[in-house]
Amino acid sequence: MLLFVSAIKLIAEISLLAFLGQFVLGLLAGAKRDQNLFYQALSVVGRPFVVVARWLSPKLVLDRHVPLVAFLLLAFIWLAATVAKIRICLQIGVELCK
């Protein structure tokens, strides 16, 4: 169970950092961000989560806000995985979690 929770937490962390990097790079690159190779690579990492967020969110949410919804969903998943990992580590002992 600890391995599963750690894997979910790791996937969420990688995706959150990809979204954060895409946001910062979008601010730096400006209007030409879609032509930037690194922006496109970060977009590929986050695209599955944006698709899931679009599917989960109501049609009322604008398409330009869906990446923010995906980021918030991943943040909640990361938080839940962190709490679950702490609980598991307290149950089995901290030494076994290293």
pLDDT digits (tens, 9 = 90+) for 42-61: 999 999 999 999 999 999 99
Q: Up-side HSE of residue 62: CA atoms within 13 Å toward CB?
A: 2
- Output the pLDDT for position 98: 78
- The DSSP code sequence of 43-95 is HHHHHHHHHHHHHHS-TTS-GGGHHHHHHHHHHHHHHHHHHHHHHHHHHH-GG
Q: Which residue has the higher pLDDT, 52 or 97?
A: 52
DSSP code for 36: -
Cα dist. 23→3, 6, 46 in Å?
Answer: 30, 26, 11
- pLDDT tens, 51-93? 999 999 999 999 999 999 999 999 999 999 999 999 999 999 9
Q: Model-level pTM greater than 0.85? A: yes
Q: Are 15 and 49 in contact (CB under 8 A)?
A: yes
**Domain that residue 42 falls in:** 2-97
Total structural domains in the chain?
1
